Structure 1
Amino acid sequence: MKMYLNTAWLLSLIAPRKAGQTLLTTGIALLSVTAYAQEVKKDSTDAYKLDEVLVQSVRATAQTPVTFSNITQKDLAPRNLGQDIPVLLNVLPSVVTTTDAGNGIGYTYMRVRGSDASRINVTLNGIPYNDAESQGTFWVNLGDFASSAQSIQLQRGVGTSTNGAGAFGASLNVLTDSYSHEAGGEIANSFGSFNSRKHTVKFTTGLLANRFELAGRLSNIVSEGYIDRASADLKSYFLQGTYVGNTTLVKALVFGGTEKTYQAWNGLEDPEKLANNRTYNVSGQYTDEEGNIRFYDNETDNYRQDHYQLHWSEKLSGSWNTNVALHYTKGSGYFENYRDGADFAEYGLQPAIINGVAVSAGDLITQKWLDNDFYGTTFSVNYNHSKGNIILGGGWNRYDGSHFGKVIWSEYSGNRRPDDRYYDDTARKTDFNIFGKATWQVLEKLSLFGDLQYRKVTYKADGVLAEPVDDVFDFFNPKAGFTYTLNSKNNIYFSYARANREPRRDDYENGSFKPERLNDFELGWRYAGNKVKLNLNGYYMRYKDQLVLTGALNDVGAPIYTNSGDSYRLGVEADAVIALTDKIIFSPNVAISTNKNIDFYFQRDGQLQNLGNTNIAFSPNVVVGSILTFLPVKGLQLSLLNKFVGEQYMGNIDSEQSKLDSYATTDLNVSYEFRTNTFVKTITLSGLVNNVFNYEYESNGYFYTYDAEGPTPGSVQTFEGAGYYPQAGINFLLGATLKF
């Protein structure tokens, strides 16, 4: 087979960063030449999939006593039309997703069991992805990453030991594309509401000389967003070179992206606008000299992130294999804001003298920058036996970050030069962990699980408090459990796990310095029949000094947390796959929980009050999802996706004003694949209609309190406020994928 792809237009999508310019440019150039495929014989590595060793140390199996969901690229493909990974995972148990722009493109977020993204450990091929300081994950920096994800596993609860930040609600690990034996290519395009579109090109050379493969992807996603001006322009790339030996697998990967999104993270507080002008965006708003409300056209977030990974997996014998990886991530970018009537002193500016009068405030345009490097190594040694497996692993990672701000324009001239910085701070974080875990069948029907992890974190930062932060944390995280096989279709499991987690940079700024501790108990039953698969899981998660969301936002739209003392999450989750007929498959899930702060204290009207047990913010008691799939004829798939999220509080004081109403959405997904006898192997047509019933809802919001003078002199009164993030009504995406 020959493959001709004209990709001159793709070169304009992504300008490679200098550090990876040669490798990336070479990969792109290979797209425009003729690729020859040859018949290859499957080598001996197929008997033992070394590719999966990349994530073996962090993934759970059917014998691991934790609850998890596996998702493959094939599962995601019919809906992979431009929306981000959190939205694509929305139907999983206990998962709640939201998006700033309202349509699933741009800044999107995911919570699991009420825990937000900063408490969900994410790894890419076993490499930590969470930002070292905020501990969050920003999929906007890796647009269309689902197109390069071979499989994804979501572990709920503490899960098993992994690299990176502590898992306080879930772990999400992604395995990227495997190598291919045969050459091929793929072109995917989609278009939809809000002028959204996605363009993706993938290629693989196949195994050349039975040993080498080069594969890659280029993507561009753009959207104007549902919310006013909430535009997104996401460019991304993925390139990997693979060497396959009889007992060796070496992978070199370079991937990343650039994003420019208009800010929409301020939400909407005005009840009148929420009712009658739901798409209103306050970001960039200012008042001109004539008193007219205007909007700054570059109130944007701009960031570039490039990842470099080198993996070496070696099969030492039938039982032993190893994996070692080196990684480096470079991130740099800023967000730009128009400051209406800013106080010059806050930005290091001297008063401007206008007609002999000192003017100390005026309009400014500022940029807040991040420039950081993250690098390190991960490693594991794996022993596999007919009775189980033993894994020893760990990692060492280092983060060097720079935070600085610039005033790039001032309404009045002052004493500042264009490159001067009104703040200039640095941070350094080192994260070392080592773990050993084993699953072993001690009796015919009983297997035991043990997992011990030691994690050491050092963090130094200035510009956070009056004095520089210099903290060291030593965490010991034990886990243990068992799985008992009742028969060929049923097993039950129980596990206990402890997790510890250090504060984030913003937590220090907000006065919350204590590390958190979690004791997680999980009890479950798995049934695997011919036509029904069922998982039932109960959990009790007891926290000490949990950093719960207060509901409020800081000046850059990031959530604020506070140590809550004692708290817990208690719940039950059930999910199933049911073959109703040979053409109809029903996959429902439900999560019912109670999530409480114990003896929560709050300062109201100048007095400290014990509110007793209160609901933990952003923790709905009921989350239900389902997929009903109909396969009428070969190649045609119709799916109805439903999601219900119960009411939740956006703060921890059970205020009625902090309630976020329950909501339910229904999406319709249609996909039809047909084969041709031409150069194009398959053509897949896909359609996705989101929110079919045009339901008006808000999936996220914020809540805050403030004190002001009360009705009597000298008294203090506490006032409350709330804001919301409206989501889009009915909207659609249509796409076509050609595979060569």
Structure 2
Amino acid sequence: MKNSIYLKSSKCEIQSKKTKFSCLFSIFFSLFSFLTFAQVKQQDSTKVNQLDEVLVSAVRVTTKTPVSFSDLDKKDIETRNLGQDVPVLMNFLPSVVTTSDAGNGVGYTGIRVRGSDATRVNVTINGIPYNDAESQGTYFVDMPDFASSVQSLQLQRGVGTSTNGAAAFGASLNMLTDSYSDKASGEISSSAGSFNTFKNTVKFSTGLMNDHFEIAGRLSVLKSDGYVDRATSDLKSYFLQGTYVGKTTLIKALVFGGTEKTYQAWYGVDAATLESDRTFNAAGMFTDEFGNARFYDNQTDNYQQDHYQLHWNEKLSDKWSTNLAFHYTKGKGYYEEYQEDQDFAKYGLLPIAAAPTVNTTDLVRQKWLDNDFYGTTFSANYKVDNWDVILGGGWNKYEGDHFGKVIWARFASTSELGDHYYDDFSTKTDGNVFAKANYKIAEKWSLFGDLQLRNVTYKANSDETGLVDDNFNFFNPKAGVTYELNQTNSLYFSYAKAHREPNRTDYENGSPKPEKLDDYELGWRLKSEKYAFNVNGYFMKYKDQLVLTGELDDVGAPIRANSGDSYRLGLEVDGAVKFDKHWMISPNFTLSNNKNIDFVSTDESGNLVNLGQTHIAYSPNFVAGNILTFSPITLLKLSWLSKFVSEQYMNNIDDASGKLKDYFVNDFNASYEIKTASIFKSIMINLLVNNMFNVDYVSNGADYGGGFVYYYPQAGTNFLAGMTLKF
């Protein structure tokens, strides 16, 4: 499930949660005001836009770093940003596979990179960890339309460089939110499309007032019925930012978040139903007292998440720049479901004395989360001559309440309104320090080094996890070399070691071991004015990798298990060719071999069997994407987007009954901007046609063994159209 953030002071510590929130909010913005006032006297109106990049400079890379990566900026995102989630907007990047529970990219979505699922992709926002502390997953549904507030994002494949939060075992994604604007502006954006999908967004910026201060914000409302039956989404989000800009100073205070209510859609359908009724959704299905099949109308996930960030960037000299950040996130919500024939004992209730004795009841339950996550991150960058050094780190703490309520029961027994049938509390602290440096040792040679120390402490006690009190100390070294053949060609090689702790679900399903990874990367970069190519080979060698088993638990979380020795060996190729001022093509593909070594499984008799080398679940051997763009005139852009994903196993035992078929899907995207001299500076019209050849395909599923396989069908041809008015 989900988690969040909490920034405490000793004064706030003794107060109630509601009062504590107000106190924290006051401290947060008082600190912002103090820092701003302290700097006003020594700043002038000169603005240094590069200061904004300091927010993410500690965790981002450039072509001088021996790491495989891709960048997307606001212009890349805005033409397709019509309501679909951030992972879906990243679908055409190398080695990326995305999926959607509702089938149309709205609501709960997922991403895999190099076969690694979202729990293994480190995500930061302005350098602040975003991954859920316990599950390690990312839930962009909690921040709907967040792409409308993203200035740029970078996806580093493999271990990448040191970052804050959970270790990157497949990739790391860092996002930079909107920069400040010199001039006042406004924006109204609306889109509509298939499955009653609607998105409305309003943005504003005051511009720099007195050459120093800006306030900007966004409000978004997004609704959709989804492709799958009852897979509805009712989403709202906001973004508010206050910025102070000085000659050498950038201070930002951000508040953003959202609420989501989504009908559960992760059950999937079996093979027979997939053929006869692709959109069938078993969530909420029950049999009433008269034997009729019905659906509970509030089988929903409900969650609110609010983020607070304070950043202070300072350019101390031509050589030194620093960043200090504090963050707090509050998350609270519940998962509601109808359950049939539940034992009273499971809910701490007594049987009802009758003839015969009543031991079970139908009921509606809610599983609640009330979580806080808070901490600080910091970095200092030193640049001189041939040296580029970054020193950084962070400390974060998670505190989470997990509790359950029964809100209705056919037979109430001894229950009372508001009773909890379970109460769990868990804490997790995560601290790290790192030092990384690029050193140019000769005209064509550069060395890269990166050392990180990370400490993780996790404590939990519940019926699901048992008693957990683990402490991990990880040392993660990285090193590489870059050789520039000439101004357009460079070669690089890198090695990185990473460690990763188990998540909450891993503890619920056994006694997991921490994972270890050795990542070797070898690449070639070619870049000129008209074309660019990147070729990257990788060998990722795992010890005790927690691989997906194909099963899901009772709240839809994927179950994982240690696999002993395993590896991922692959080749990534991506490029961009600009033929002339009208035509451009951006292809990519990944060839990979993903294997468990000497994989041990249990047969039908309960005996352990060594299956030797087997495919790692959810790891296709071939993934390819392409974007062909035609601009007949400057302000009109037409794009044909293609994605191919080869077949993949949903298990680790090479059971062909649990296979996802390959699929090839094509989208069409058009955008046309009209420049005006009226009240509106421009009018942009966008069109997105997804799956324009109406392919029946499945991008995800679950395999419980013994032939119990379920599939997540994706929508056929569907469209979104929108208009943006800028003034």
TM-score strictly above 0.5 = yes
Q: In structure 2, the residue corresponding to 1:273 is in which secondary structure? A: helix
Change beyond 3 A, Cα 1:630–1:371: same
Amino acid corresponding to residue 455 of structure 1 in structure 2? R
Preserved contact between residue 256 and residue 305 of structure 1 (Cα < 8 Å): yes
Distance 2:127 2:73 in 1: 17
Preserved contact between residue 503 and residue 512 of structure 1 (Cα < 8 Å): no
- Taking the TM superposition and a 5 Å limit, the aligned residue runs for 1:716-727 are 719-727=706-714
| 1:501 matches 2:500 | yes
- Taking the TM superposition and a 5 Å limit, the aligned residue runs for 1:64-463 are 64-269=65-270, 271-354=271-354, 356-463=355-462
Once the 2 structures are TM-superposed, how far is the Cα of residue 530 of structure 1 from its aligned partner? 2.3
Once the 2 structures are TM-superposed, how far is the Cα of residue 45 of structure 1 from its aligned partner? 3.5
Amino acid corresponding to residue 426 of structure 1 in structure 2? F
Preserved contact between residue 464 and residue 505 of structure 1 (Cα < 8 Å): no
Amino acid corresponding to residue 296 of structure 1 in structure 2? Y
2:473 maps to 474
Choose between structure 1 and 2 for higher RCO, CA contacts under 8 A separated by at least 6 residues. Answer: 2
1:538 maps to 537
Segment of structure 1 superposing worse, 420-429 or 465-474: 465-474
Once the 2 structures are TM-superposed, how far is the Cα of residue 383 of structure 1 from its aligned partner? 0.6
1:653 maps to 653
Preserved contact between residue 101 and residue 107 of structure 1 (Cα < 8 Å): yes
Preserved contact between residue 20 and residue 254 of structure 1 (Cα < 8 Å): no
- Taking the TM superposition and a 5 Å limit, the aligned residue runs for 1:664-675 are 664-675=664-675
Q: In structure 2, the residue corresponding to 1:166 is in which secondary structure? A: coil
Q: In structure 2, the residue corresponding to 1:272 is in which secondary structure? A: helix
Distance 1:60 1:242 in 2: 25
Distance 1:143 1:464 in 2: 33
CA offsets 1:289-344 (integer angstroms, 9 cap, x no match): 11111000000000000000000000100110000000000000001000022222
CA-atom RMSD in angstroms: 1.7
Preserved contact between residue 45 and residue 212 of structure 2 (Cα < 8 Å): no
1:698 maps to 698
Distance 2:412 2:573 in 1: 63
Preserved contact between residue 573 and residue 590 of structure 2 (Cα < 8 Å): yes
Identity score, percent: 62
Once the 2 structures are TM-superposed, how far is the Cα of residue 444 of structure 1 from its aligned partner? 0.4
TM, length-normalised to structure 1:
0.92
Distance 2:703 2:466 in 1: 30
Once the 2 structures are TM-superposed, how far is the Cα of residue 388 of structure 1 from its aligned partner? 3.7
Amino acid corresponding to residue 470 of structure 1 in structure 2? D
1:529 maps to 528
Q: In structure 1, the residue corresponding to 2:345 is in which secondary structure? A: helix
Once the 2 structures are TM-superposed, how far is the Cα of residue 467 of structure 1 from its aligned partner? 4.6
Preserved contact between residue 213 and residue 242 of structure 2 (Cα < 8 Å): yes
Distance 1:20 1:49 in 2: 34
Q: In structure 1, the residue corresponding to 2:209 is in which secondary structure? A: coil
- Taking the TM superposition and a 5 Å limit, the aligned residue runs for 1:563-602 are 563-602=562-601
Distance 1:541 1:175 in 2: 28
Distance 2:431 2:150 in 1: 27
Distance 1:297 1:458 in 2: 40
CA offsets 1:196-229 (integer angstroms, 9 cap, x no match): 0100000000000001000000001100000000
Amino acid corresponding to residue 433 of structure 1 in structure 2? N
Amino acid corresponding to residue 173 of structure 2 in structure 1? L
CA offsets 1:148-175 (integer angstroms, 9 cap, x no match): 0000000000000000000000000000
Preserved contact between residue 502 and residue 516 of structure 1 (Cα < 8 Å): yes
Aligned length: 694
Preserved contact between residue 66 and residue 495 of structure 1 (Cα < 8 Å): yes
Distance 2:145 2:474 in 1: 35
Amino acid corresponding to residue 493 of structure 1 in structure 2? Y
Q: In structure 2, the residue corresponding to 1:87 is in which secondary structure? A: helix
Preserved contact between residue 447 and residue 484 of structure 1 (Cα < 8 Å): yes
1:30 maps to none
TM, length-normalised to structure 2:
0.94
Preserved contact between residue 464 and residue 508 of structure 1 (Cα < 8 Å): no
2:9 maps to none
Unaligned runs of 5+ in 1: 1-15, 28-40, 706-718
Once the 2 structures are TM-superposed, how far is the Cα of residue 21 of structure 1 from its aligned partner? 12
Once the 2 structures are TM-superposed, how far is the Cα of residue 466 of structure 1 from its aligned partner? 7.3
Distance 1:631 1:384 in 2: 40
Distance 2:428 2:23 in 1: 28
CA offsets 1:84-138 (integer angstroms, 9 cap, x no match): 0000000000000001000000000000000000000000000000000000000
Q: In structure 1, the residue corresponding to 2:79 is in which secondary structure? A: helix
Of 46, 49, 73, the residue aligned with 1:44 is 46
Change beyond 3 A, Cα 1:669–1:369: same
Q: In structure 2, the residue corresponding to 1:652 is in which secondary structure? A: coil
1:734 maps to 721
Distance 2:464 2:307 in 1: 31
Unaligned runs of 5+ in 2: 1-17, 30-42
